[in-house]
Chains A and B, each alone.
Chain A
């Protein structure tokens, strides 16, 4: 027998001792940089070469006696410790969940991602040593370090030339929507206010659009809840995500508190049987294991069971759902400005109150339980059970307190219809605005967007039938050759968009294959060359990043700009319960890296724009404050009160530590009044200091987000989706291939999951989960390497002007030749598990080296311009074995749903 196992050693071997912060260590408060929960963290910093702390509470800065007791937070483990530079000198740095926190991560809880966030810190002796340090310009196809002025002079000169010669729509910005108020504000002030280009898109959409448009029409805010609501509900419906994996402390603290303390029953809609699903089932919950993209009919069937039994919340509907008069005749503008009117030609979505909607619902073939169950591939009994759990009155006649929360599996498959149908389900159940009865997104990245300018919708040439104008589809705009200068900030762009292989071909064509390539170090010659490139139809890319990305930076960018990030500047941001906190600076940025706001400001000034003279991030923040008024994260009160106290706004907010302030913030004299949840129509503490001054009392504080303040029920006609869905169904021996994030890799990939040996040990390659039956049919075992391949990935091409009603539906686009079928392929390590539904495979969403998006359709929802990332079909074929099949040191193939 080989002694391979006995002699095995783990890929990542942590230290078995870690220095404790001494009593006099600097303590800086911050929050995690990753998922939308934004757990509170404390950073302890002390110089290398000075004594570390001792195990007694009066010997260390944690104030804790070591060893800690089981369950006690505040542990400094090997992955909570690193070293980094502060004021040019090496320091010990420990980043630890705030064990004194009473909000978000109560007691210092954390996820596997946030728990390791110390490893994000730039440390020249660790895997983060390859942070970008200097601006670079591509000369003879090599990125060469240059000075800031050299790089930005080129970027500014080419930008100005592009705007003057080709128009502002030829100047594009693709950027993160989330990476701190200061940065998103400065970037959009440049792109939208100064340049006023419509060619601007977030990291996750082709356009500047809303992710949950059904709720826009219905009137629900997407982050209306407080975390506490999840511990107060009788029943929580979670769709398109498992918070155990991807909103960890929401699960660990708040949802578990509900399940174990309040006997909350959790219903999960998810093709995967995840750890959270398994736990929910064990505690009286339910798993609706739907096929990808089938959610709408399941919602409709649940609604049918509810209304047929009369289980809807009639009292709520009478009070808070728009009736015939309110929808048809209207108050003032009535519903004329409700987006449903311009999503499609008239009459497809709006109803005249509850009874009208009910008649429509009951007339739909797809709302019949058996039909819906067949489409979704689930047991019909589960639909009845779900309806009972959510809506059947208790034995004592009381209503069940139900909350609904959604995430990307729901809204990135069938965007409009899924969000509209689940929103309507919430409306008839009385979800929204009451403790334990809320309606919310669970969230992805944190909420760090503030707009420094207004999006110029009127400049977009994209038009759909009726009188509707779509915001500019940046990917199609690029593909058509209209983008001549692209400012790409903090996103991979290519792998992050569907049909990414075809998209990469466009980048290649527009940059590398253009004959005008830089061959000289003379600045003016470089500028002239790049001007010739853009005038010949090519494109110049400036990529602002913390690491050199492949391929956007490494292969296609002409100018690379090194950005400073979390911990390297004072920043502010909100989380999923609208809690605004200061993220303190605690270490030096690597090399010459600068925060994004400062790079944008320098570029803007070199282009001749005014209004970018901020001295530090606090000045940017103070400028953003007034633009937050009336939004869900209205934090203007911070600036107002800070000024009255003679303080800087950042310093004032810093005083609130990891607790921060929960927005929207209202002012009662000098007192800041926080907001626990939105749509809180029973709320009594609204100050009567006027509706519009330092703060704006948005309607959504006490009502819903519509003209009338009441919820609009909307229809969700299945046939608007059916032609596309039919095309995307697996054919022959294809399987559904859906994708998503897992616990270890969620909203943390953008900095260093490829630089974290601990995570690489667990997930050394991209993986794909296959059901045992599907695996056996293909001769695949766990640990085998497989190819995932499709040659019919639909990509919407060309400039499309919709005239007739059906022009923009998938079949119309196909008929008119606007859909091109392209190829996509990636490899992955097979994990055979019954945790994935038969007929469906599941892979990681954004592994840069093997991106799932090569096979996802680049055909945005014609109603909303959201991509349908979670819907793909492909052939899966065994290539051979990976080394991990027989390794003991990397990769585990154990089932993840053990209970």
Chain B
């Protein structure tokens, strides 16, 4: 398990989001879906942030275009394999000046095929896949939505925050393949 905890006092960006929704309480179960009201876009993400560790996973300066960086999140346990990307296009949930820095869990949500091997990332299409098992592919500019294939949920997106040059993983959207709870590995 990562040593990171939910204690992010002092991280003002994160606190601002969390405070908005939950009055600073981190004891939130599950996800709260908000209606798409103007000005509230993205606030749903805060709900996910609440119960996740905050972990530094890279720096903006050293992250190269179309060269994914492996990391583990939300822990170091089975199926925590994740990838950090600087894509050649603007992406949903993308951070940084070009809104093109995103991160995803790297297990196909169909049958758990690993998508962090060589050739799995299609830079021209900003796509992950096709999976070697059954060829599901995911759109990294659309929150990991299935482009084509068999997966029954989008690729879980790792939510990011930028603090200076540091990229932090702060939460997740969706369930990691093979787990029943992202934060419980039994």
A residues engaging B (CB < 8 A)? 1, 3-10, 12-20, 54-56, 65-73, 75-80, 109-112, 115-116, 244-245, 248, 251-252, 256, 275, 279, 743-744, 758, 761-762, 888-892, 894-896, 898-899
Contact = CB atoms under 8 A, between A and B. Distances in A.
Contact of A75 (B77, B112, B126, B142): B112
A248 B148 CA distance: 12
A248 B150 CA distance: 8
Interface stretch (B19-27, B65-73, B128-136): B128-136
B107 interface: yes
B10 interface: no
A872 B30 CA distance: 49
A78 B178 contact: no
A279 B135 contact: yes
B24 to A, nearest CB: 21
B82 to A, nearest CB: 14
Interface string B98-138: 01000000010111111000000010011101100111010
Contacts of A110: 150, 152
B135 A70 contact: no
B175 interface: yes
B153 A17 contact: no
A13 B174 contact: yes
A734 to B, nearest CB: 28
Given A279-B135, A895-B125, A67 B94 contact: no
Given A8-B92, A67-B77, A275-B130, A111 B186 contact: no
B42 A8 contact: yes
A67 B139 contact: no
22 contacts: A10-B142, A10-B145, A13-B174, A14-B175, A54-B186, A65-B186, A68-B79, A69-B78, A70-B107, A77-B109, A112-B146, A115-B151, A245-B148, A275-B137, A889-B143, A892-B139, A892-B147, A894-B126, A895-B147, A896-B147, A896-B148, A898-B130
Given A17-B181, A70-B113, A889 B146 contact: no
Given A9-B93, A75-B111, A75-B178, 5 more contacts: A71-B112, A279-B135, A888-B142, A894-B125, A898-B137
Contact of B145 (A72, A892, A895): A892
Given A66-B178, A256-B134, A72 B150 contact: no
Contacts, number: 212
A898 B91 CA distance: 19
Contact of B173 (A10, A17, A888, A899): A10
A112 B133 contact: no
Contacts of A54: 186
A67 B153 contact: no
A64 to B, nearest CB: 9
A112 B147 contact: no
A13 B92 CA distance: 13
Interface residues of B, number: 68
B39 to A, nearest CB: 9
A55 B184 CA distance: 9
A78 B175 contact: yes
Contacts of B31: 13, 15-16
B153 A16 contact: no
A111 B135 CA distance: 12
Contacts of A9: 36, 41-42, 44-45, 92-93, 143
A7 B42 contact: yes
Contacts of B184: 17, 55
In this complex, the member of A15, A256, A744 whose beta carbon has the largest number of chain B beta carbons within 10 angstroms is: A15
Given A55-B184, A889-B143, A109 B41 contact: no
A13 B33 contact: yes
A275 B134 CA distance: 11
B153 A6 contact: no
A855 B56 CA distance: 56
Contacts of A17: 30, 175, 179-184
Contacts of A8: 41-42, 92-93, 143
Nearest to B140: A894
- The 10 A-B residue pairs with the shortest CB-CB distance, nearest first, are A888-B92, A55-B186, A68-B178, A7-B42, A17-B181, A115-B152, A896-B148, A8-B92, A70-B112, A10-B143
Contact of A275 (B114, B148, B156): B148
Contact of B44 (A6, A13, A15, A69): A13
A252 B132 CA distance: 11
Nearest to B153: A14
A895 B42 CA distance: 27
A398 to B, nearest CB: 31
B137 A762 contact: no
A899 B109 CA distance: 18
Contact of B180 (A18, A79, A889): A18
Given A6-B93, A8-B42, A71-B133, A78 B153 contact: yes
A6 B149 contact: no
Given A9-B45, A10-B92, A888-B141, A68 B177 contact: yes
B172 interface: yes
B63 interface: no
